[in-house]
Structure 1
Amino acid sequence: MTEGMAPGARLQVDRREDGALRLTTDQTLLGAESDIACKLRHWARVAPDRMLMTAPDGAGGRAGLRYGEALLEARRLHGRLAARGLRPGDRVASLLPAGLEALRLRLACLLGGFVHITLPPHPFRAVAQFPPEAPEAARLWRVAAPDLVVLPAGCPAGGPALALTDLPEAPAAPDRPGAPQDWTAIFFTSGSTGAAKGVPITRGMISSCQAAYAVAWPFLAEEPPVLIDWMPWNHVFGGLDNLFKIVWNGGSLHLAPPPSAEGMGAMLDLMAEVRPSLSIGVPLGLKLLMDAWDAQPDRVAQGCAALRHIFFAGAAMDPALWDRLAGFRDALAGRYGHRIAVLSGYGATEAGSTMCLVPGDIAAPGVLGWPLPGHEVALVETDGLSEIRFRGPNLAPCYLGEDGPFPLPLDADGYYRTGDAGLLAPDPAGQPMLRFDGRLAEDFKLSSGIKVRAGLLRGRILGRLGPLASDLVLGGAGGDGLVALILAAPGAEVRAIAAALDGWNRDNPGSSTAIRRFALADFTPSAEEGEVSAKGQLVASRLHRTRSGLFADLMADRIGEVPR
């Protein structure tokens, strides 16, 4: 097992009376009785001068907030919010971008017992009045039901909306005690399978999740982690899990702009300066790092000198990128004498971010790992597949809609139905691992009744297309064959893509695998329309809705190319 992992940990697999598999680990969940506010106070006391977070200052430099300062400033802001009339349990919505100001507000809400809500930015980008009138912004507003909304400086204010500078001056307020069942945040789901829903996050959910991380990955406590992060704060990945993983373990977080080819120079400069020990993100960022490695290996190596662990979402890396990452790790191991461990996991907003973690370095993508210590997974036969279902103390109490709370999709045993399929398969060391087996919602049937495993099929076809395509979306539900919308790589020719698909079809001639007709996307998928998630990944279900006419034309043979 990789250095820094829990030694001797084992996955326990039991078969229930109904035939489902129940997965747990033999690790005991320790420390879940702690509260995240207690962790903040602890580090402010024992390491007040340690940097909690840095962020761009808007003038080409960086500004920072140390643990001692963060606690003092959060208490002062708590006092100003209380002077505005807020009471514990009131909801404070924020449109602040990730940064030091947003951090101060988040911690002030934590200490004051207010429920913090980071609103999705896109629906509110042109809002000039509150409550908003734009349909999607108005719907989210009704779900959030905020008592106060905090705007960036310079935005039109009024009614319940204001900038932090508009709050009344007041002395610092004492911290309010919190209970595990208290709501401390509301996050919105991505909306990839329907309208975005609000998910209340309790203090106990944060504690159980972060305590489970500490048991599964002891390296987090062995040395305070240093993380460069760009994930948006309106999603639990960046705005809850990454942030509070740092606070829980006394680490340092350095915010960066979203990865881009143009911004990699500044990213590498930041890496060389702060020497990250941990990388948490999605394959988009890793691809850009591998591109930089190909062009400037010495510069990338310098920025990765202290890097020990790379974490990414386990189901989302294509084989070509995995091979590049393996070569990168081998090269750095030769230079620095240690091998970077690649870790993966699996989660959902409904679980406060995380449900599964791998116990050590993985040998291939697609591995989800084991349930968090103290939590459970069940694999339940559902329409010919094994659905992943989850139960544990970090599961949200409910959803929030326009009409108030409504229940999560729980089965009769209290397991959350994820809508994802999974299977158990041994890793190279012979240990059973939960692997991703596609999304039930992505699968569809042809007119013949044959089921198409769209999620898994997409990955296999992308592997065949290689550098010719960055992504694709399959269609054909109710038809007699498959069609594909392909996002071609820059410079890729349609003839080359047609030839690659022709080879695929010869090897996979079945109606549920062969591509009958395809089109190259002549547009950039829109994050504002929900076609791209905050992690930079295509949302197939949303593209089928927003581009329904295109898929209809493909299926009717009115547009597109036929592999030859």
Structure 2
Amino acid sequence: MIVKDATTGLSLAPHAVNTRRDGSDLYLTTRVPLDPVVSDTSVWLDRYARQTPDAVAVAERAGEGWREITYGELLPMVQAIGASLSGRGYGTQSPIAILSGNSIDHLLLSLGAQYVGVPTVPLAEQYSLITEAHGRLNYVLEKVRPAAVFVDDAAKYAAALALPNIDGMEVFASRTEGAPRPVTGFDTLLAGDTSVDLAAAHATVGPDTVAKILFTSGSSSDPKGVLTTQRMMCANQAQMASVLPFLKERAHRITDWLPWNHVFGGSHNVNMMLSTGGTLTIDAGKPTKALFGETVRTLIDRPGTLSFNVPVGFALLVQEMEENLALRQAYFEDLDMIFYAGASLPQPVWTRLEEMAMEVRGRLPLMIASWGMTETAPATIMLHEPIGRSGVVGVPLPGTEIKLMPDDEMRCELRVKGPNITPGYFGDPAKTAEAFDGDGFLITGDAVRFVNDDDPDRGLVFDGRVSEDFKLLTGTWVQAGRLRLDALEALRGLVQDIVICGHDRGEIGLLIFPKAGVVHDTNTSNGACVDEHLMADIHHVLTDLARAKTGSAKRISRALILAEPASLKDHEITDKGSLNVRRIITRRADLLERLYDNEDPALIRV
């Protein structure tokens, strides 16, 4: 079933979907067989420590040089850390919270803990570095009650380490200077513990052992701790290797910034390198104005053969490569695959990436996307053939089954089942029970539709969140996710983000967070902005948008510009940077009422 693709020159499994119906519900699986699944992540480390001991497993910049760990060095270091943790009595009931971001020591601690069955809890570093976000940090610490915490720099994280909720926990730190409380140097863990029967401790680890507890971003409620087992992570890598067999044909390289407290960076990307004997270069940059320069420098020094990013990251890369020919050459010269997730990649960005690839290399890389979530480890649906356009997420991966429940708008609610699905949420049996239907499928809350209703092999397109949808007073359903994307595209350059409103109202309205720099008149009216020029610009765009829409479910009729940006302190922003819509509407209930007051002077009426 494996073919050598003529466009990319890569070995790929073709889309081949089985379908069955049960009433109105449609079930999809793939005909591609699943590769063997290892029992736990240590199998990968042992394999490459023997087969390619001199190959670099992970690298990070250290001053003007690089710190590198080979596979031959990696396994003994992981085993030493595992022995040290076991010697302290740590086990399945004594998780370790990781407060700092991506680093070699972070990876070593995670793998050492996994080796002996100690769960780690990687957290967004802004929880610790931003005082206003300490509420989220305290919430997780109180929920999990870890036995220990880790930071790469005790002085940098001093404010978080001083929190009372860390009292009684052991603190590990790569750099111990400036700590506000006693800390244990990371080198102590690397020294190991010869009194421990490491083989016995390791023997307790199996497919159902919890490796990590990954907290969701909390976009609609408090974050949930997703139990991530060895089976989930190992099965997911086998699933992807089954449909992308070129991953097994050479040792690939990635240069990656994506944070490890999220499943995309920490499970999908890290484990893809470890499971195939590849090299992970840690990029200390980010797709922000302040840090993107570091990403550019790292990509030129250590370009990858695979590239993973979110759409805003690829957009910045394209913009930089228009002038930076050294980056363009380095990025594309040995690139096999471009993979985006998090949102749909704008088609102009996709097209320009293809054009640049042809200029540098003379052939296209495989450009694909996937659908997944923290609860699915993450990949469950994946595009694994060239398609030439953005927005398609593909077909089910081997071993998974998806249930599609159609609605009246030619789209389907998505539910999933497979070995990569979480068993539930930490300390929350009620939410765990709510997460699955009577047939054992995970209720994702997402909607999809077919690229071609007559040909399931062409795959699925993500079509918003079912949970974001609402009804107008007329009983008409509003597909808020799709409408939001349309409005953001139309208002590009004027808005930072928007909230779609209208539940139990007669019309759809917008609460608008304006883009920095577009507000020139600072006159406000109790939380609303009344910049007449900006209001006129938005009115013009929404009027044009309304002309192109038919029906009350697609027509935005009013808007209000918010004077105050979304607040991290008040949990209006998740750690992924997305809006917590429920929190915004609750906290700003008075502004929601003004949005539907036709006499309000700040109202933009279309």
Code of the aligned partner of 1:163: F
Change (3 A) 1:135 1:326: closer
Secondary structure of 1:23's aligned partner: strand
Secondary structure of 1:441's aligned partner: helix
Offset, 1:112: 1.6
Secondary structure of 2:267's aligned partner: helix
When structure 1 is superposed on structure 2, of 469-478 and 110-119 the one drifting more is: 469-478
Structure 1 partner of 2:82:
78
Code of the aligned partner of 1:507: A
Structure 2 partner of 1:20:
25
Structure 2 partner of 1:220:
247
Q: Determine the C-alpha separation between the residues in 2 that align with 1:402 and 1:376.
A: 25
Code of the aligned partner of 1:38: V
The alignment status of 1:511 with 2:539, answered yes or no, reads: no
Offset, 1:136: 4.1
Contact 1:21-1:379 at 8 Å conserved across structures: yes
Change (3 A) 1:305 1:559: farther
When structure 1 is superposed on structure 2, of 69-78 and 400-409 the one drifting more is: 400-409
Change (3 A) 1:63 1:413: same
Structure 1 partner of 2:604:
562
Change (3 A) 1:66 1:183: same
Secondary structure of 1:400's aligned partner: coil
**Deviation string for 1:36-64 (max 9, x for gaps)?**
2100111122222222222243x465422
Q: Which runs of 5+ in 2 are unaligned?
A: 174-183, 519-532
Q: Determine the C-alpha separation between the residues in 2 that align with 1:228 and 1:213.
A: 19
Structure 2 partner of 1:29:
34
Offset, 1:328: 2.9
Q: Determine the C-alpha separation between the residues in 2 that align with 1:222 and 1:472.
A: 45
Change (3 A) 1:299 1:404: same
Structure 2 partner of 1:465:
491
Code of the aligned partner of 1:282: V
Secondary structure of 1:24's aligned partner: strand
The alignment status of 1:332 with 2:357, answered yes or no, reads: yes
Structure 1 partner of 2:258:
231
Secondary structure of 2:322's aligned partner: helix
Change (3 A) 1:352 1:302: closer
Q: Determine the C-alpha separation between the residues in 1 that align with 2:290 and 2:152.
A: 26
Change (3 A) 1:518 1:120: same
Q: Determine the C-alpha separation between the residues in 2 that align with 1:462 and 1:138.
A: 34
**Deviation string for 1:481-538 (max 9, x for gaps)?**
1211334455656233321211111222532222222234544445565544555444
Q: Which runs of 5+ in 1 are unaligned?
A: none
The alignment status of 1:347 with 2:372, answered yes or no, reads: yes
The alignment status of 1:209 with 2:217, answered yes or no, reads: no
Q: Determine the C-alpha separation between the residues in 2 that align with 1:184 and 1:342.
A: 31
Alignment counterpart, residue 109 of structure 1, candidates 108, 113, 117: 113
Offset, 1:26: 0.2
**Deviation string for 1:155-176 (max 9, x for gaps)?**
4475113124345754366351
Secondary structure of 2:451's aligned partner: strand
Code of the aligned partner of 1:296: N
Structure 2 partner of 1:291:
319
- TM-score normalised to structure 1 length: 0.89
Offset, 1:29: 0.9
Contact 2:299-2:327 at 8 Å conserved across structures: no
Contact 1:421-1:437 at 8 Å conserved across structures: yes
Q: Determine the C-alpha separation between the residues in 1 that align with 2:541 and 2:431.
A: 49
Change (3 A) 1:125 1:268: closer
Q: Determine the C-alpha separation between the residues in 1 that align with 2:92 and 2:504.
A: 52
**Deviation string for 1:379-423 (max 9, x for gaps)?**
024686521000011111121236898435211111111011112
Offset, 1:285: 0.6
Q: Determine the C-alpha separation between the residues in 2 that align with 1:317 and 1:539.
A: 20
**Deviation string for 1:429-471 (max 9, x for gaps)?**
9843111122111111122222111111122223333444454
Contact 1:5-1:360 at 8 Å conserved across structures: no
Secondary structure of 2:213's aligned partner: strand
The alignment status of 1:267 with 2:295, answered yes or no, reads: yes
Q: Determine the C-alpha separation between the residues in 1 that align with 2:88 and 2:438.
A: 44
The alignment status of 1:307 with 2:335, answered yes or no, reads: yes
Structure 1 partner of 2:148:
148
Which structure 2 residues correspond to residues 477-496 of structure 1 after superposition, within 5 A? 477-489=503-515, 494=534, 495-496=536-537
Structure 1 partner of 2:413:
387
Change (3 A) 1:31 1:478: same
Contact 1:502-1:563 at 8 Å conserved across structures: no
Alignment counterpart, residue 397 of structure 1, candidates 418, 423, 447: 423
Contact 1:153-1:163 at 8 Å conserved across structures: no
Offset, 1:82: 2.2
Change (3 A) 1:482 1:431: same
Q: Determine the C-alpha separation between the residues in 2 that align with 1:137 and 1:185.
A: 17
Change (3 A) 1:218 1:266: same
Secondary structure of 1:407's aligned partner: helix
Structure 1 partner of 2:54:
49
Which structure 2 residues correspond to residues 447-462 of structure 1 after superposition, within 5 A? 447-462=473-488
Secondary structure of 2:42's aligned partner: helix
The alignment status of 1:191 with 2:228, answered yes or no, reads: no
When structure 1 is superposed on structure 2, of 103-112 and 135-144 the one drifting more is: 135-144
Change (3 A) 1:467 1:270: same
Structure 2 partner of 1:362:
387
Identity %: 28
Alignment counterpart, residue 498 of structure 1, candidates 539, 549, 565: 539
Offset, 1:309: 1.2
Contact 1:92-1:147 at 8 Å conserved across structures: yes
Contact 1:269-1:303 at 8 Å conserved across structures: no
Contact 1:399-1:407 at 8 Å conserved across structures: no
Offset, 1:373: 0.7
Offset, 1:251: 1.1
| TM-align CA RMSD | 2.9
When structure 1 is superposed on structure 2, of 114-123 and 335-344 the one drifting more is: 114-123
Code of the aligned partner of 2:55: R
Secondary structure of 1:210's aligned partner: helix
Code of the aligned partner of 1:369: G
Alignment counterpart, residue 246 of structure 1, candidates 243, 250, 273: 273
Code of the aligned partner of 1:338: R
Code of the aligned partner of 1:317: S
Change (3 A) 1:60 1:454: farther
Secondary structure of 1:438's aligned partner: strand
Change (3 A) 1:162 1:299: closer
Alignment counterpart, residue 168 of structure 2, candidates 159, 174, 187: 159
When structure 1 is superposed on structure 2, of 30-39 and 178-187 the one drifting more is: 30-39
Structure 2 partner of 1:443:
469
Contact 1:517-1:560 at 8 Å conserved across structures: no
Change (3 A) 1:397 1:78: same
Alignment counterpart, residue 451 of structure 2, candidates 419, 425, 429: 425
The alignment status of 1:373 with 2:401, answered yes or no, reads: no
Q: Determine the C-alpha separation between the residues in 2 that align with 1:75 and 1:447.
A: 62
Contact 1:119-1:234 at 8 Å conserved across structures: yes
